[in-house]
Every structure is written in C-alpha cells, then in structure tokens.
Amino acid sequence: MSIRNAFSAFGFAADDATIDTLRTDLAFALRQFIDRSGMGQTKAGHVFGLKQSVVSQIVRGDIEHLSVERLIRAMVRAKITGFAEWGGSPELARAGTGFRTFGVSSLSFVPPIGEFYAKSPPVSAANVNKTTPVVAGALTEVPAGGA
Amino acid sequence: MQERPLHFWDEEEWKATIAGWPEAVRRGFATRLRVVQQGGQPHSRAKPLSDFDIPVWEMWHRDGQRVIYSVHYVSVSGRVEVLDAFEKDSREGKKMRKSDRKRISARIAALKRDMDELEKRQRQLRRGLH
C-alpha cells in the first residue's frame, strides 16, 4: 500500500493537504534556487524581497507560517518561472520552477475518449472514403464545456 | 518531477500511531517528508542513523517539555519506506531504546526480503523477454 501525498498520510483533509503541499513545493523550489545560485541568505533576501530570517526559515524548512501567496511573490520578484496546480485530491497538487510539461493531469481537460466515439459518425463503407478523419470530426462536434 | 510514493510497514498501525499527535507535529513531519519525496533531504531536526545495515533517517519533533515524536524512514528504489513512528520521553536520553531498535531492524529485514523478491521477479521477467 502506498500514499502519494505526505499530508494525506498524516491525516490532513484534502483542502489543507493541497495548500500545504503547494507551500512545501514552492519553498523547496526556492531552497533549491538558493543552493544552486550560491547566494548568501542576505543576498537572497534582497532578491526575494524577504528578510534574511525568513530566508533562513525557508532553507531550514520551517515554513508552516508562510503563505503560498508570499512564496509566489518571492518567486516573481526573483524572476523565477514557476507553476502550481491542484486537482480533486491532494495527490494531484504540485508546484515547482520552470514550465509544466504536458502531463497526465492536463488530459483531464479533454473530454473522455468514449464521448468522441459517441459523437462520431459510424464508420461504414459509405463514409470511409470521406476526407475528414473520424477523430478530428468528433473533436469539432464536442461543445467547449465538454459533453 | 514525480514525487516518490510513501510506503508504510502497516498502514492501519501507522494511522493509529499518529492519530493522537498534535496538528503542528503532524504538519512539521509531513512538510519534511514531502521534501524527501521530492528527492531532497530535510535540513533540520533530522539525521541519518549509522546503527543499521542501510542508511535509516530519523526525524524528530520536540513538543512541550518532555515529549519527543520521531519518524524513521529509508529511501529505496524510488520510494520512501516509513519504518517506524513513536513518541518518547526526553528524559530517556538521546539513545534509541533497545525495543525500538529491534523493531526497526526487523522491519528492515522484511524490507530487504521484499526487495530481493522483487529483484528476482524482475530478473526472471527480463530473462523471459530475451
């Protein structure tokens, strides 16, 4: 048996676990940025617009009192590109630096494949020679908000 | 980066153990365990233990005057194995209790058996593919 989210494992509700996960991931991203840049905590504080003591807390992982908003502000001030995403369960929550690659969770915006086929014209000898591919035709028929 | 899943020696026992822990303690541990899941190491209140065959990490959280909560884990094969969690009285000293050490050693032995079994199965699978 395995659990993907540490906050779920410690018995937190889905909403709390999601926020805590985002907070931890953002703080970890900032910590990695500080480690890789070789900046001192005072310099990092200037770059992030935070006090040195707060940078020290981020480095040590004492981040329970820091808000997600404050961490995002620090990343923006340091011109660090990042992302944050969440879903129906804490397991889908994650944040980090860089651009998010097109992954599994993004597919949830696409209607399920079954709906494509439901709206597709039946494949038969009569329409098999038509130029429009079946899947492309189905995609244009799905309304913007899904089925 | 995909986070590494958490495995527990016994999920029911784990839940029962942490059920009574204060929220701040649980949040502190979860924050550091999340960092471990992402491939990092907790920078505070954690240390590797050298008494075992494999590098076991201990995280602790002091709450109040005397109570110390601790969680032990190992990182193996892309996953984080939580081996034990308990609370103790700080007056007992820094040294780990014999009973705790014995319990963790037994769980490491069980984990090793599982990993060997997994490796054996994978080797058989690879042989079958070629």
Residue pair B11/B23 in contact by the 8 Å Cβ criterion: no
Residue pair B20/B35 in contact by the 8 Å Cβ criterion: no
Task: Show the tokens assigned to A46.
Answer: 């200037």
Residue pair B50/B67 in contact by the 8 Å Cβ criterion: no
Q: Collapsing DSSP states into helix, strand and coil, what is residue A143?
A: coil
Q: Looking at the complex, report in whole angstroms how far the Cα of residue B126 sits from the nearest Cα belonging to chain A.
A: 25
Q: What is the pLDDT of residue A135?
A: 41
Interchain pair B26, A10: CB under 8 A: yes
Q: Give this complex's ipTM.
A: 0.88
Q: Please, which residues 22-81 of chain B have a Cβ atom closer than 8 Å to chain A?
A: 24, 26-35, 37-38, 40, 42-44, 79
Q: Collapsing DSSP states into helix, strand and coil, what is residue B8?
A: strand
Q: Looking at the complex, report in whole angstroms how far the Cα of residue B35 sits from the nearest Cα belonging to chain A.
A: 7
Nearest CA in chain B to A62: B28
In terms of Cα–Cα distance, which of A73, A41, A77 is closest to A60? Answer: A41
Task: Show the tokens assigned to B118.
Answer: 């997994």
**Model pTM?**
0.78
B130 vs A43, which has greater pLDDT? A43
Tens of pLDDT, residue by residue over B39-62, are: 888 888 899 998 888 889 999 998
- Give contacts of A7 with chain B, Cβ < 8 Å: 27, 30, 34
Our CA dihedral for B59, A84, A5, B33, rounded to 10 degrees, sits at -10
Task: Show the tokens assigned to B76.
Answer: 């193996």
Interchain pair A7, B32: CB under 8 A: no
Cα→Cα distances B78→A60, B39, B57, Å: 24, 9, 16
What is the helix (H) or strand (E) element at residue B62, kind and residue range? strand B56-63
Cα→Cα distances B42→A77, B28, B50, Å: 26, 11, 17
Tens place of pLDDT per residue across chain A (147 aa): 688 899 999 999 999 999 999 999 999 999 999 999 999 999 999 999 999 999 999 999 899 999 999 999 999 999 999 999 999 899 999 999 887 765 544 444 444 444 444 444 454 555 544 444 444 333 444 444 443
Q: How far apart are CA B72 and CA A122, in angstroms?
A: 58
The separation between the first and the last C-alpha atoms of chain A, rounded to the nearest angstrom, is 35
